[in-house]
């Protein structure tokens, strides 16, 4: 009789565990489905906004209406390729990236190509052109690629491995810094030498996100984050008040300071963008001027389809649409945080934090620039801005995050 009661008890416990597992599985599928639906919604609005933003350029190009729609068509192509990359990376077990051969290959390929770009800009300027003061692009047929964007994912994978090893070996703050410093220094230096300060800062922002969830001393991180703005403010003051020519990158910063101090920067090309961006957002109001009725796309705001796409979005669709887009990104951020929290291992945790930090900090920096809260950095708005390299990077990041979510629920709770 006692044996029979125990059998019934264990059978009941087994059924309860099975029900809990099924519930967790359904929850995971709902999370992944919700993220995919959110991305699809962003893609639809992105395409519609890109068509409206580039319409004037298409009409005034003097070419056939279909042939001249290069930017919208390329944007749709990159979104389609990105969606395929998302679904592909979603099916690749994230443990694959932890293999030594994969990590080493990613590092060697990334560093080799970044060095090759620096050399290519000198010997093959037609292949590695100067764009807006930087040399980080490579021409491949009708497309222009930015390798430093692609390598952000490789950078996160490599840092995630070192942080996981640091945790396993119980390294303290100094040990973690020694482990990470060479990788951070090499990537940031090579990108900085390309003249791309915005992307360099983004690499550092990704690093900060990953360090925040590492065993490193939080007091040290807070101290560095507190002193960094003071250091940059001092450097900017030397260039600005000393009237020193720091090139295109410093011109962006001193132009921003002019806007803060004088309130107007219409005579300078770089500052002019920020002023026109603010005008666009002000004109949009709560509900916008209406689809296709934006003014800034008529050559008033340069780069409106790339770095300042959010200004076009706010002008035509209004504050409510901008808020909706931000809320969708915040929802994706929440799913990413949940995935990192329940990850089955520390490599998965650091990987998700780095990739979700990549997407979210890029969105924040783009919106900060568009609203005049920071100098122009050249970082696009994820999914919305024209730029295949950034789009593909964001989609690959999302695919890896969703795979961690899928694998964690399958392995950890089975």
> Could you say which DSSP state residue 396 is in?
H
CB within 8 Å of 240: residues ≥ 6 apart: 253, 254, 257
The SS3 call for residue 146 is coil
> Could you say which DSSP state residue 289 is in?
S
In this prediction, residue 8 carries a pLDDT of 56
In this prediction, residue 375 carries a pLDDT of 78
Domains of the chain, by residue range, sit at 62-412
Question: What count of Cα atoms within 13 Å lies in the side-chain half-sphere of residue 155?
Answer: 33
Backbone phi, then psi, for 134, in 5-degree steps?
A: -120, 165
**Which two structure tokens, joined as six digits, stand for 185?**
């220094």
Each of the 414 residues of the chain gets a pLDDT tens digit; together they read 444 555 554 555 555 555 556 667 777 788 899 999 999 999 999 999 998 888 777 676 655 555 455 778 889 999 999 999 999 999 999 999 999 999 999 999 999 999 999 998 888 887 888 777 678 888 877 778 899 999 999 999 999 999 998 888 888 777 888 888 899 999 999 999 888 888 999 999 999 999 988 877 777 777 766 776 676 666 555 554 555 445 555 556 656 556 655 555 554 555 778 888 888 898 888 998 989 888 888 888 887 888 889 999 999 999 999 999 999 999 999 999 999 998 889 999 999 999 999 999 999 999 998 888 887 777 899 999 988 899 999 999 999 999 999 988 766 655
Which residues partner with 143 through β-bridges?
Answer: 140
Q: Got the DSSP string for 200-224?
A: HHHHHHHHHHHHHTSSS-HHHHHHH
In this prediction, residue 262 carries a pLDDT of 57
CA distances from 338 to 223, 371, 401 (A): 27, 30, 11
In this prediction, residue 68 carries a pLDDT of 52
What is the CB neighbour count within 10 angstroms for residue 39? 23
Query: Nearest-CA neighbor of 190 among 230, 155, 239?
Result: 155
Distance from C-alpha of 414 to C-alpha of 232, rounded to nearest angstrom = 50
In this prediction, residue 307 carries a pLDDT of 85
pTM greater than the 0.75 cutoff? yes
257-263's contacts with Cβ under 8 Å and 24+ in sequence apart are 259/372
The length of the chain in residues reads 414
The SS3 call for residue 316 is helix
> Could you say which DSSP state residue 93 is in?
-
131: exposed, middle or buried (Cβ count in 10 Å: 0-12, 13-18, 19+): middle
């Amino acid at each position: 009789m006692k044996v029979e009661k125990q059998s019934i008890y264990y059978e009941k416990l087994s059924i309860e565990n099975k029900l809990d597992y099924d519930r967790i599985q359904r929850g995971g599928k709902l999370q992944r489905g919700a993220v995919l639906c959110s991305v699809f919604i962003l893609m639809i609005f992105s395409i519609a906004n890109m068509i409206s933003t580039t319409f004037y350029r298409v009409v005034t190009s003097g070419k056939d209406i279909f042939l001249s729609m290069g930017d919208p068509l390329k944007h749709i192509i990159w979104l389609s390729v990105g969606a395929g990359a998302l679904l592909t990376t979603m099916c690749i077990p994230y443990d694959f990236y932890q293999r030594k051969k994969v990590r080493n290959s990613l590092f060697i390929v990334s560093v080799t190509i970044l060095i090759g770009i620096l050399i290519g800009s000198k010997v093959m300027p037609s292949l590695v052109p100067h764009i807006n003061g930087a040399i980080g692009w490579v021409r491949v047929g009708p497309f222009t690629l930015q390798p430093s964007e692609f390598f952000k994912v490789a950078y996160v994978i490599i840092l995630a491995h070192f942080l996981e090893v640091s945790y396993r070996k119980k390294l303290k703050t100094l040990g973690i810094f020694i482990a990470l410093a060479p990788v951070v220094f090499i990537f940031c230096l090579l990108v900085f030498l390309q003249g791309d300060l915005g992307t360099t800062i983004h690499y550092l922002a990704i690093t900060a996100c990953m360090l925040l969830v590492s065993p490193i001393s939080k007091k040290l991180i807070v101290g560095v984050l507190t002193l960094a703005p003071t250091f940059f403010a001092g450097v900017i003051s030397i260039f600005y008040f000393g009237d020193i020519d720091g090139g295109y990158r410093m011109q962006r910063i001193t132009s921003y300071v002019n806007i803060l101090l004088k309130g107007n920067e219409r005579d300078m090309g770089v500052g002019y963008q920020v002023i026109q961006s603010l005008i666009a957002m002000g004109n949009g109001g709560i509900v916008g001027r209406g689809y296709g009725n934006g003014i800034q796309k008529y050559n008033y705001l340069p780069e409106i389809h790339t770095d300042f796409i959010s200004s076009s979005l706010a002008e035509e669709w209004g504050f409510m649409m901008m808020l909706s887009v931000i809320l969708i990104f915040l929802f994706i951020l929440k799913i990413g945080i949940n995935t990192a929290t329940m990850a089955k291992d520390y490599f998965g945790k650091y990987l998700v934090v780095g990739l979700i930090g990549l997407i979210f900090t890029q969105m924040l920096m783009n919106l900060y620039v568009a609203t005049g809260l920071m100098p122009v950095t050249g970082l696009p708005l994820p999914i919305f801005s024209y730029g295949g390299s950034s789009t593909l990077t964001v989609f690959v990041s999302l695919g890896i995050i969703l795979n961690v979510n899928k694998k964690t629920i399958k392995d950890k709770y089975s």
